[in-house]
């Protein structure tokens, strides 16, 4: 019986199963400084048969100035339509990857799980590991038969602004900023117009989830990394725009700690209202 993968999958394992009928690979490469870089890279070569997901067009909804962050979640209907176009059935094994060690691909991993599709995994180490294994690369797209994808929304996984505002002031909860420490402290802010973090949030940068070779840390190390956090229902991750926080949620799940919450609007949504408090320093 073919195993299912629900957090990560090694490049060798993907290669072994690549041509199975009910497997689907999605390339999520993206560059925030060049919105078309990922699509160009995909066109030049990708895991054989992989489809492409654009961060702005597929993995984000419309930006509403003064209300949303930089990468708002698509509506449930939009996600269902997208997954249906890719032909994802309840038994499809989906594998997602990028060239950022999973930092972008984890967004699609989270979206699928949010709609109840658990058989989805991030390629451990990303496209670099695929190339390091000298596995084949081409420009083909695997034919799929579109289907009617009907999601089972995990509503308790998503945190609103109001929920985060309450949790940050409650000792039984933890709000976790997933950005680099210098951004958390407000020492630099290369993207958003306001520097700092949500008051009461602690800092666990998502980039600390992987080893120097780009692979995800072993589950035991991740358990130690998240040891001071409360159980999943009381833990909420955020980042700049709700994308890389999903990598912390992936690592948290891979550690066997459950499904933590996501503040999808994240810092870029928090700061659209000047009345919301901002903290700097560490």
What fold, for 155-270?
Answer: Oxidized Rhodanese; domain 1 (3.40.250)
Each residue of 260-279: pLDDT tens digit? 999 999 999 999 999 999 99
Overall average pLDDT of the 93-119 stretch: 98
Cα–Cα distance for residue pair 26/50, rounded to 1 Å: 5
Lowest mean pLDDT among 8-12, 25-29, 30-34, 56-60: 30-34
What fold, for 8-132?
Answer: Oxidized Rhodanese; domain 1 (3.40.250)
200 token code pair: 């009461």
pLDDT reading at 22 higher than 80: yes
What is the band of 282 on the pLDDT scale with cuts at 50, 70, 90?
confident
Is 239 an annotated catalytic residue? yes
Which of 131, 239, 262 is CA-nearest to residue 184? Answer: 239
Overall average pLDDT of the 232-240 stretch: 98
Report whether 30 contacts 38 (CB < 8 A). yes
Please state, in angstroms and as integers, the Cα–Cα distance from residue 220 to each residue in 176, 205, 225, 227, 236, following that order: 20, 18, 9, 10, 21
Segments making up each domain of the chain, as ranges: 8-132, 155-270
Among the listed residues 105, 198, 239, 257, the single catalytic one is 239
Overall average pLDDT of the 55-80 stretch: 97
What is the band of 16 on the pLDDT scale with cuts at 50, 70, 90?
very high
* Per-residue pLDDT, 44: 97
Q: Is the pTM of this model over 0.85?
A: yes
* Per-residue pLDDT, 267: 98
What is the band of 236 on the pLDDT scale with cuts at 50, 70, 90?
very high
- Cα pseudo-dihedral 182, 183, 188, 189, rounded to 10: 170
Q: What is the mean pLDDT of the chain?
A: 97
What is the band of 1 on the pLDDT scale with cuts at 50, 70, 90?
low
Overall average pLDDT of the 102-113 stretch: 98
Each residue of 169-219: pLDDT tens digit? 999 999 999 999 999 999 999 999 999 999 999 999 999 999 999 999 999
């Amino acid at each position: 019986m073919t195993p299912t993968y629900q957090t990560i999958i090694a490049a060798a394992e993907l290669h072994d199963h690549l041509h199975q009928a009910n497997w689907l690979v999605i390339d999520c490469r993206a560059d925030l400084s060049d919105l078309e870089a990922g699509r160009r890279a995909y066109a030049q070569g990708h895991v054989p048969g992989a489809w492409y997901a654009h961060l702005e067009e597929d993995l984000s909804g419309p930006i509403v100035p003064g209300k949303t962050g930089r990468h708002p979640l698509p509506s449930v209907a939009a996600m269902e339509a997208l997954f249906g176009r890719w032909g994802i059935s309840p038994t499809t094994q989906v594998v997602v990857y990028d060239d950022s060690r999973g930092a972008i691909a984890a967004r699609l991993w989270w979206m699928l799980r949010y709609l109840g599709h658990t058989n989805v995994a991030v390629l451990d180490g990303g496209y670099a590991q695929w190339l390091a294994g000298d596995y084949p690369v081409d420009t083909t797209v695997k034919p799929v038969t579109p289907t009617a994808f009907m999601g089972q929304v995990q509503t308790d996984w998503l945190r609103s602004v109001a929920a985060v505002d309450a949790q940050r002031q409650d000792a039984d909860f933890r709000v976790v900023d997933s950005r680099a420490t210098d951004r958390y402290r407000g020492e630099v802010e290369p993207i958003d117009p306001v520097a700092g973090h949500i008051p009461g949030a602690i800092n666990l940068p998502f980039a600390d989830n992987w080893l120097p070779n780009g692979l995800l840390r072993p589950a035991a190390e991740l358990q130690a990394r998240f040891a001071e956090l409360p159980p999943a229902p009381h833990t909420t991750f955020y980042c700049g725009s709700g994308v890389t926080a999903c990598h912390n949620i992936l690592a948290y799940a891979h550690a066997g700690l459950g499904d933590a919450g996501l503040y999808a609007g994240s810092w870029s949504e928090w700061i659209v209202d000047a009345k919301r408090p901002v903290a700097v320093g560490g």
